[in-house]
Structure 1
Amino acid sequence: MTAVDFEGFVERLATVAGEAVMPFFRTMIGVEDKGGLGKFDPVTAADRAGESAMRQLIKSTFPGHGIVGEEFGSENESAEYVWVLDPIDGTRGFITGLPTWGTLIGLLKGGVPVYGTMSQPFTKERFFGDGGSARCRGPHGERKLRTRACARLEDATLSSTSPRLFSGGDLVAFEALEDRTRHTRFGGDCYAYCMLAAGQIDLVVEVGLKPYDIVALIPVIEGAGGVITDWEGGPAAAGGRVIAAGDRRIHAAAMDLLRSAGA
């Protein structure tokens, strides 16, 4: 299977997920808290409907493939090809009516991310990447994605989901990085990574990610010329502490600062 082989299938997955999710957006949808221990982690019927629709299509088309999803766990995770799904990345944005959420569809081959899509059905945008190239298609046409050059942290725009996700040494390190950068925006979830690939943001720094939060975004960022790793410079596909940058120079600088400040 090549990128050309499964590109059309990923489009179908994004379409069925959008059809399942959109009837719930900007409605009085019920919200459950699956976080516990005082940490709000919302899930809705829309999350479950979107993932169910994608799982059904994968199983009927590629019964030998594995699936890892946020809502319904893992199946056949040792398969050569494994789909990694997050039906609504950014559920907090979804339940407040903000279009900063998206459906993440990633594909692993032998444990390595080889293709990824972020689909935003409300804005009708889709971001695609295969690690070698990346593009965005929306109401205003299709264009190639390319990160922008940014050599110094002092000139960088930084994004993260929320400062409340950091604690202890990680919080100290993030605050040190924030002090060095020009501007910080919170609350972008998966959309922030796509804006990094589009050359609008320079750095995204997160903690506590799961594979379904990040696998789909890795080929998009790398395909646009960016770099994404964990805080130690290793692969980001397992989640955890992640740093994405549009320019390798600020990736290295940010990683050094995070390491030294959080020690």
Structure 2
Amino acid sequence: MTASHAELWAIAQDLADVARQETLRHFRSPALQAETKESDRFDPVTQADRAAEAAMRAILDERRPDDAILGEEFGHKPGTSGLTWVLDPIDGTRGYMSGTPTWGVLISVADDTGPLMGIIDQPYIGERFSGGFGRAEATGPLGKAPLGCRGPRPLQEAVLFSTFPEVGTEAEERAFRALSRQVRLTRYGMDCYAYALVAAGQIDLVVEAGLQPYDVHAPIAVIQAAGGIVTDWTGGPAHGGGRIVAAANRIIHEQALAVLSQA
């Protein structure tokens, strides 16, 4: 089943709309319940995660039945079209269950080469960041604006984000700390919103480890559309997850990789 770019964008917007509705329906509700998906660490999932992904999958089953789907909560559904919808119904469930506003919904379309387009949606804030197929824009309370990453600057002037102070393994954390010591400012806890801030020209770097494909596909599409670069810590493809460096431009990216590799 072939599809035009306009059709894929229309469906992606509908997915974001229905996920926004489902996540907000449960947000800051006293009835919200979180359980952990792993026995050795707290990896929460809520009824909102499952409801949002189920609602998105229902739309895709109706309108794109030949496409594959990869979602955090319900796994992989094979397809025959060559396209895969990659869904994270709530990126930042820990923040969501705590009532913070910067969790988001991640939606992307990928082929064998990686993500082609993506949306980072912030339901509570009302912002939506879209990138791919010639589009790079943000919509929200301030209206519509083009996305564009920051230009080059010295590493010591850079702003670096990561979700957790504890970045991956002990060795990965040491490498991150070495980079953090060289930048102007390091901040934590924004989940997918940090990647949106790279695309919006607000910060320079996001560095993380231990990510899954559904964590990074949409951010890759949005940041690349805005003129940035996303790779693993060796400069290779990042859409498989793992160690991620998202950078506003190639120069700051190279500087960050040099520090991470030395550490």
Tell me whether the two structures share a fold, i.e. TM-score over 0.5.
yes
Report the alpha carbon displacement of residue 125 of structure 1 after superposing the two structures with TM. Answer: 1.0
Task: Provide the rounded CA distance (Å) in 1 between the counterparts of 2:60 and 2:10.
Answer: 13
Q: Please state if 1:206 is matched with 2:208.
A: yes
CA deviations 1:203-240 (Å, max 9, x no partner) are 00000000000001111101111000011111111000
Residues 77/153 of structure 1: CA separation in 2 closer, same or farther (3 Å cut): farther
Q: Identify the residue that residue 126 of structure 1 maps to in structure 2.
A: 128
Gaps of 5+ in 2: none
Report the alpha carbon displacement of residue 244 of structure 1 after superposing the two structures with TM. Answer: 0.5
Instruction: Please tell me the residue identity of whatever aligns with 2:66.
Output: G
Gaps of 5+ in 1: none
Which residue, out of 223, 229, 234, partners 1:227?
229
Q: Identify the residue that residue 176 of structure 1 maps to in structure 2.
A: 178
Q: How does 1:17-96 map to 2 (within 5 A)?
A: 17-28=19-30, 29-37=32-40, 39-76=41-78, 79-96=81-98
Any conservation in 2 of the 1:3–1:115 contact (CA below 8 Å)? no
Task: Provide the rounded CA distance (Å) in 2 between the counterparts of 1:155 and 1:83.
Answer: 37
Task: Provide the rounded CA distance (Å) in 2 between the counterparts of 1:96 and 1:14.
Answer: 22
159-168 or 201-210: bigger deviation: 159-168
Q: Identify the residue that residue 102 of structure 1 maps to in structure 2.
A: 104
Report the alpha carbon displacement of residue 166 of structure 1 after superposing the two structures with TM. Answer: 2.6
Task: Provide the rounded CA distance (Å) in 1 between the counterparts of 2:136 and 2:148.
Answer: 8
Instruction: Please tell me the residue identity of whatever aligns with 1:164.
Output: E
Is the partner of 2:110 in helix, strand or coil?
Answer: strand
Q: Identify the residue that residue 112 of structure 1 maps to in structure 2.
A: 114
Task: Provide the rounded CA distance (Å) in 1 between the counterparts of 2:175 and 2:118.
Answer: 29
**Given the two structures, how large is their TM-score scaled by the length of structure 1?**
0.96
Report the alpha carbon displacement of residue 79 of structure 1 after superposing the two structures with TM. Answer: 4.6
Any conservation in 1 of the 2:104–2:192 contact (CA below 8 Å)? yes
Any conservation in 1 of the 2:102–2:125 contact (CA below 8 Å)? no
Residues 77/232 of structure 1: CA separation in 2 closer, same or farther (3 Å cut): farther
Is the partner of 1:107 in helix, strand or coil?
Answer: strand
What's the C-alpha RMSD, in Å, of the aligned pairs?
A: 1.3
**Given the two structures, how large is their TM-score scaled by the length of structure 2?**
0.96
Instruction: Please tell me the residue identity of whatever aligns with 1:34.
Output: K
CA deviations 1:2-43 (Å, max 9, x no partner) are 422211111111111111111110112111011321x21111
Which residue, out of 236, 250, 253, partners 2:252?
250
Q: Aligned pair count? A: 260
28-37 or 42-51: bigger deviation: 28-37
Which residue, out of 166, 169, 177, partners 1:167?
169
Q: Identify the residue that residue 156 of structure 1 maps to in structure 2.
A: 158
Q: Identify the residue that residue 241 of structure 2 maps to in structure 1.
A: 239
Any conservation in 2 of the 1:68–1:77 contact (CA below 8 Å)? no
Instruction: Please tell me the residue identity of whatever aligns with 1:47.
Output: D
Residues 79/231 of structure 1: CA separation in 2 closer, same or farther (3 Å cut): farther
Residues 63/131 of structure 1: CA separation in 2 closer, same or farther (3 Å cut): closer
Is the partner of 1:192 in helix, strand or coil?
Answer: helix
CA deviations 1:78-105 (Å, max 9, x no partner) are 7501000000001111011111101100
